[in-house]
Amino acid sequence: MIKKLLFGIGMMFVCTHSLFALQENDIASSMRSHIDLATSILRNTQLAKQERSGKIFAIFDSVFDYTLMAKLSIGAKQWDTLAPEKQREFTKLFEMRLKNSYMEKLDLYTDEKIVIKNLEKIKDTRIHLTTHLMKNGEVYEIIYKFYKTANANEWMIYDVDILGVSIIQTYRTQFAEILAKEPFERLLERLKEPEPTNTKAPQ
Amino acid sequence: MRLLLLTCFFTLSLLWATNPTPQQANEDVETEFVDKTGEALFDPLEGYNRFMTDVNDHFYEYILRPTAQGYAYLVPESARKGLSNAFDNLFFPIRFVNNLLQFKWGNAFEETERFVLNSTMGILGFRDVAGEELHIYAHDEDFGQTLGAYGVGSGFHIVLPIFGPSNARDLVGLAGDYWLNPLTYIEARDANLVDNTTESVAITAFYMVNRTSLHVNEYDSLKKDAIELYPFLRDIYESRRNKLISE
């Protein structure tokens, strides 16, 4: 009986699972501690780079909706034409790219101060969290854009604005341009390349 | 099994109760992004722009960056930062006039405070005394932003040699700022800091090398995010300018 009950309680967690995701009231405080934790991991030079990124992504994985981000970047129309395994492959590659890029940025700015400036509820299902990164007296504005998931009271990030530039929008424009000229398979290949293809890599 | 189903049902109904109107958030997120491709995008100079993006990228990779890195090796960062402050201080007229043109009186006043303090106590602007001690920061404005604030649209996108992405509006803006820039040489202008065009080009080149030396990592890291460089840089430039104009 106890076993059954425990299992039942476990299932309750599985069913809701929103218990671990972000609720509206703790978006600001959770993000604050996520960012603090991430920067302290980055500053910990004892860890190998691989270890550091592993730890950091463990923090952010529950907050970023990578699948939605991938879908938005390629556009719903294009997305619907893809077979499910292609969608998964694309999402995986896109997620890798986002993560590498995010790591790279955090790495550049480890010594800077990041403060949470403002939390604004744009509408019922959207929240914008504005953060400021201070460097040499200059302020860099980074906005994390959250949406409310359809199934529960949880919030996830679907886009990040850096200095007014939407990350998803830049990918969307690039993907649309590439797909206008090249097949989808080629796009997958290019996602794996570390440097933009239309420019020569430095010698 | 029955208990399991019951628990699941119970929690789901709880969720239902606390969240009576599950939104279709997923679907309408898409509408927040625009499709700027094909005919919807006005980019008459695309062919030239792509070509010039490559030229500029090569110029950066093979000339500007190596020069800036060599220079950074010889000159300590504090000195380069000081020079960068001094240049920024010299560009005061551009910021001052454009703040006035946009009726930002408070900002124009703060710019004046900065110029006076940094030129004197900051020794010709090498130290940003106003920013460091008094937390009075610069208010970057240029004529392109002023035109934008007046409601002038960006027009077609154009990639300039060496200077990089721009558009029709900002090109006009650059011409306006050229008059206010103390590093340019204009015979018709009463006051000139430099004696001739050669000096002006030399000091502008030096300014670019100095500035690049302080931002090499940022640009390199940014470039790695690109899959196709031209649309990437175009998007970033246009979004960034729109953001600056709206501020």
> With an 8 Å Cβ cutoff, are A169 and B25 in contact?
no
Of A99, A38, A90, A35, the residue nearest A64 (C-alpha): A99
For residue B109, pLDDT over 50 is answered with yes
Can you spell out the DSSP letters for chain A?
Answer: -HHHHHHHHHHHHHHH-TTTSB-GGGHHHHHHHHHHHHHHHHH-TTS-HHHHHHHHHHHHTTTB-HHHHHHHHH-HHHHHHS-HHHHHHHHHHHHHHHHHHHHHHHHHTTTSEEEEEEEEEEETTEEEEEEEEEETTEEEEEEEEEEE-SSSS-EEEEEEEETTEEHHHHHHHHHHHHHHHS-HHHHHHHHH-SS-TTSPPP-
CB A187 within 8 A of CB A88: no
Band of the pLDDT at B127, cuts 50, 70, 90? very high
- Residue A165 has its nearest CB partner, among B38, B54, B239, at B239
- Taking CA–CA distances from B224, the nearest residue in chain A reads A195
Note the pLDDT of residue B23.
42
Please give the pLDDT value at position B12. 46
All residues of chain A having their beta carbon less than 8 Å from the beta carbon of residue B36 are: 173, 176
- How many degrees, rounded to 5, is the angle at CA A98 between CA A108 and CA A107? 15
Instruction: Give me the residue from B4, B22, B32 closest to A11, CB to CB.
Output: B4
CB contacts < 8 A, A to B, total: 149
Q: Which tokens in the block code for residue B8?
A: 């699941």
CB A130 within 8 A of CB A120: yes
Report yes or no on B12 lying in a domain: no
Q: Check pLDDT > 70 for residue B61.
A: yes
Within a domain: residue B151? yes
Decide if A111 touches B, using CB distance below 8 A: no
Of A108, A168, A180, the CB nearest to B218: A108
Q: What is the mean pLDDT of residues B28-45?
A: 75
What is the number of alpha carbons within 13 Å of residue B49 lying toward its C-beta? 18
What is the arithmetic mean of pLDDT over B27-34?
Answer: 79
The answer to the question of residue B21 being in a domain is no
Q: What is the pLDDT of residue B7?
A: 52
Q: Where in the sequence is the domain holding B77, given as residue range(s)? A: 44-246
Separation CA B233–CA B57 (nearest Å): 11
Q: How many domains does chain B have?
A: 1
Q: Please report, for residues A85, A167, B56, B171, B230, the alpha-carbon distance to residue B161 in angstroms, rounded to integers and kept in the order given.
A: 44, 26, 6, 12, 14
Q: What is the per-residue pLDDT for A58?
A: 86
Enumerate the residues of chain B whose CB falls inside 8 A of the CB of residue A166: 33, 239
Cβ–Cβ gap B34/A151 under 8 Å: no
Residue in B3, B12, B236 closest to A8 by CB:
B3
* Residue scoring higher pLDDT (A199 or B58): B58
Closest of B235, B156, B243, B224 to residue A173, by C-alpha: B235
Chain A residue with minimal CA distance to B244?
A: A164
Q: What is the pLDDT of residue A10?
A: 56
A 137-156 residues with CB < 8 A to B: 137-139, 147-153
Let me know: does A52 contact A41? Beta carbons within 8 Å: yes
Hunting for tokens 């860890």 — which residue is that? A47
In 3D space, the residue among B86, B138, B135 whose CA is nearest the CA of residue B107 turns out to be B138
- What residues of B are in contact with residue A109 (Cβ under 8 Å)? none
| Mutation target among B7, B13, B60 for the A interface, most CBs of A within 10 A | B7
d(Cα B112, Cα B89) in Å, to the nearest integer? 10
Residue pLDDT, tens place only, B45-56:
999 999 999 999
- Give the minimum alpha-carbon distance from B194 to chain A in angstroms, rounded to a whole number: 29
Q: CB–CB of A127/A27 below 8 Å?
A: yes
Tell me the pLDDT band of B218, cut-offs 50, 70 and 90.
confident
Q: Which one, of A130, A131, A133, lies nearest residue A110 by Cα?
A: A133
CB B199 within 8 A of CB B185: yes
Phi, psi of A135 (to 5 degrees): -145, 120
A136 and chain B in contact, CB less than 8 A: yes
Is B119 a domain residue?
yes
Interface list for A 32-71 with B (CB within 8 A): 68
- Give the residue extent of every domain in chain A: 23-192
Mean pLDDT for chain B overall: 86
Contact flag A164-B244 (C-beta cutoff 8 Å): yes
**What amino acid is encoded at A94 in this protein?**
F
Model pLDDT, residue A8: 58
Task: Quote the ipTM score.
Answer: 0.78
Q: CB–CB of A190 and B227 under 8 A?
A: yes
Residue B150 has pLDDT above 70, yes or no: yes
Q: Which residues of chain A have pLDDT under 70?
A: 1-21, 106, 109-111, 136-137, 195-203
User: Is B205 within a domain?
Assistant: yes
Q: Kindly state whether residue B186 falls inside one of the protein's structural domains.
A: yes
Kindly determine whether residue A152 and residue B15, on different chains, have CB atoms separated by under 8 Å. yes
**pLDDT at residue number B145:** 96
* Cβ distance of A124 and B235 shorter than 8 Å: no
∠ CA A2-A5-A9, rounded to 5°: 140
**Residues 6 or more apart from B116 whose CB is under 8 A from it?**
none
In angstroms, the separation between the Cα of residue B199 and the nearest Cα of chain A is: 30
In the predicted structure, residue B92 carries a pLDDT above the cut 90: yes
* Residue B59 placed within a domain: yes
Contact A197 B228 (CB under 8 A): yes
- In this structure, what are the phi and psi dihedrals at residue A157, rounded to the nearest 5 degrees? -85, 130
Q: Is A174 on the interface with B (CB under 8 A)?
A: yes
Q: Is-contact A42 A57, C-beta < 8 A? A: no
Over residues B158-163, mean pLDDT: 94
Q: Which residue, among A201, A145, A189, has the nearest Cα to A31 in the 3D structure?
A: A145
DSSP string, chain B: -HHHHHHHHHHHHHHHHH-SS---HHHHHGGGS----GGGS--TTHHHHHHHHHHHHHHIIIIIHHHHHHHHHHS-HHHHHHHHHHHHHHTHHHHHHHHHHTT-HHHHHHHHHHHHHHHHTTTTTTS-HHHHHH--------HHHHHHHTT----SEEEETTTEEEEHHHHHHHHHHHHH-TTS--TTSS--SSSSHHHHHHHHHHHHHHHHHHHHHHHHHHHHT-SSHHHHHHHHHHHHHHHHHH-
Q: Which fold has domain A23-192?
A: Nuclear Transport Factor 2; Chain: A, (3.10.450)
Say if the Cβ atoms of B239 and A164 lie within 8 Å.
yes
pLDDT value, residue B13: 45
Taking CB atoms and an 8 Å limit, are B81 and A136 in contact across chains?
Answer: yes
pLDDT of residue B38 exceeding 60? no
Q: Which residue of A has its CA nearest to B20?
A: A152
Is there a domain that residue B14 lies in? no
